[in-house]
Amino acid sequence: MSETSKTPLLDTVRSPADLRGLDVKDLRQFADELRAETVDAVSVTGGHLGAGLGVVELTTAIHYLFDTPDDILIWDVGHQCYPHKILTERRDRIRTIRQGGGLYGFTKRTESVYDPFGAAHSSTSISAGLGFAVSGELQKKEGRNVIAVIGDGAMSAGMAYEAMNNAAVTGSRLIVILNDNDMSIAPPVGGLSAYLSRLISSRSFRSVRQLTMMLAEKFPRQIERAAQRAEEYARGLLTGGTLFEELGLYYVGPIDGHNLDHLIPVLKNVRDDPQGGPILVHCVTKKGKGYEPAESSADRYHGVGKFDVVTGELYKAPSNAPSYTKVFANALVKEAQKDDRIVAITAAMPSGTGLDLFGKAFPARTFDVGIAEQHAVTFAGGLAADGMKPFCAIYSTFLQRGYDQIVHDVAIQKLPVRFAMDRAGQVGADGQTHAGSFDIAYLGCLPGFVLMACSDESELVHMVATAVAIDDRPCGFRYPRGEGVGLDMPEEGVPLEIGKGRIVREGNSVAILCYGQRLQDSLTAADELAARGWSTTIADARFAKPLDEDLIRRLAREHEVLITVEEGSVGGFGSFVAQFMSHDGLLDRGTLKFRPMVQADRFFDQDKPEKQVEAAGLSTRHIVRTALTALGQDIGEIDLTA
């Protein structure tokens, strides 16, 4: 070990087994070093920082007291798992996190035995943990602990409460740790709270409580219930845990999640509790804890790019093009200035969706419903039913969580809810769980929907205006993560004619009909095909539903090859086009060669977006290859590797 090492204790710990070899008095120093290593690693790679900093002491205490990986530890969402990864035999790779071929930014089962359940969407940990707990009972895995750490807003989702309710019914042994990092439900914590938590979690208290309940059972039913109510009420007054007790979990807390002198004895009591059943330990933490730039930041460095450790200053490459997210937000603000019925809804992602900008302009018309996509959709439906114009801004991948509500509460009733789907297509470092790959297919199958995809930032402005104008049915428009292509922006949006695309370039041999953000690659492909003597028409579909049938007929009849391109799964735009052409008889003549291009039928790991597009088979060279193959060209002699 180097004499100049800034992390001498951490350097001796490769795994939780090594950590458990330390003296308890050394844990404070260890946690400080783990925090410093987390900050330094994320400064190199970028990623989720604030949530991880908030659970450094909790991570240390859990791995010190529980026999991981034999004991099951599940992190909700997973973006708070960076300290956990450093501690579980992955420190040597932590500076590859969210990079191509590197560690995943969330928990992933195939990455480590210390990640028993993959997560990247919120509020799943208690359900999964209960699954492990019940499985352990059925398989007689005696003595195994199951710990689910949930927090960072995840308790705002209904799924967490569904799981707690079921856990109470099963009575299975499950430890739920609520990482409460926004002080929203926590009374003040301190010495008295810590004492009460140790007392309530102790074996003696549990035994006395059990004895009291047993004695009460000997009395008439009304006395038994009164005794139970009195005990619960008294504990509720002292600790604030009445809600969780009503759900059927034994509540312990709140405790200071950064004070190891509080954490260790309470978690030890919970670990050694002989009573069984689900227990909830309420820890109050501070997001971004221990790193001043994160603590003072509005979002506590929830997600950051690379930064300077000393100053906290973010490194940002200069760009002349605005992000699609900001283009959407600014366009919606302009529309809302003209129409006071426009309202905006986000599910705990105001900055991620750009609605923080809308909220500054129209605070009374902006609604952050928490991590509750199902509620967000039906809430928007209610607004639309009463004449408002709701824009539900939710990432494509997160909107999947509200699909039942989209069908039953919006589509069937033909309510004009506008779904703004950010992060369409591949998303780079956030990887497979955050990629917007399926919205074209899962919304396109619903009757009455209008679906749009922008090919550039200027088109997005017009699609926002189009969505405002659609007042008789639901609609959705998708746009990618990242920056636009650098076009001049219109002063204001102009509603597009519903179901009408546009010709971008005229040709006569090959037709490429693009839906969404791969238009620029299609134009480059047309240049390469032209260099080889093939004249190419490029069309921007704009709409997947309704289709521009006249445009498709023209492209099919006037060209030898018709290719559709979309950054989405099979079952989307290309399938809609094929369905139409089949029934319209356009495929009956033997001269047209139709080739739908969709992303490869698999999930894609994190990487640079351009590499993900390449892996998906949707890059310029793939478009050129598809066209030449359809034309019967021998591509073996043509260099398409650039």
- Catalogue the active-site residues: 287, 373, 401
483, 323 in Cβ contact below 8 A?
Answer: yes
User: Residue ranges of the alpha helices (H) in 171-320?
Assistant: 191-201, 203-216, 221-239, 242-247, 260-271, 292-296
d(CA 565, CA 547): 14
CA-based nearest residue to 518, from 416, 364, 627, 622: 622
Element containing residue 425 per DSSP (H, E):
none
Beta-bridge partner residues of 422:
none
Residue linked to tokens 């008294």: 234
Q: Cα(first)–Cα(last) distance of the chain, in Å?
A: 46
216, 228 in Cβ contact below 8 A?
Answer: yes
Q: How far is CA 74 from CA 229, 370, 503, in A?
A: 32, 22, 51
392, 418 in Cβ contact below 8 A?
Answer: yes
Q: How far is CA 635 from the centre of its chain?
A: 40
d(CA 318, CA 55): 33
Q: Exposure of 486 by Cβ count < 10 A (0-12 exposed, 13-18 middle, 19+ buried)? A: exposed
User: Residue ranges of the alpha helices (H) in 56-114?
Assistant: 56-65, 82-85
d(CA 86, CA 475): 44
DSSP state of 107: B
Q: Exposure of 531 by Cβ count < 10 A (0-12 exposed, 13-18 middle, 19+ buried)? A: exposed
Q: Cα angle vertex 172, ends 167, 173, to 5°?
A: 110
At what angle are helices 260-271 and 191-201 packed, to 10 degrees? 10
One-letter identity of residue 78: G
Strands, E assignment, 467-603: 475-478, 502-505, 510-515, 536-540, 543-545, 561-566, 593-597
- Helix/strand/coil for 443: helix
DSSP state of 436: B
d(CA 381, CA 375): 10
Collect all residues with Cβ–Cβ distance below 8 Å to 188 and sequence separation of at least 6. Answer: none
Supply the Cα-derived Rg of the chain in whole angstroms. 28
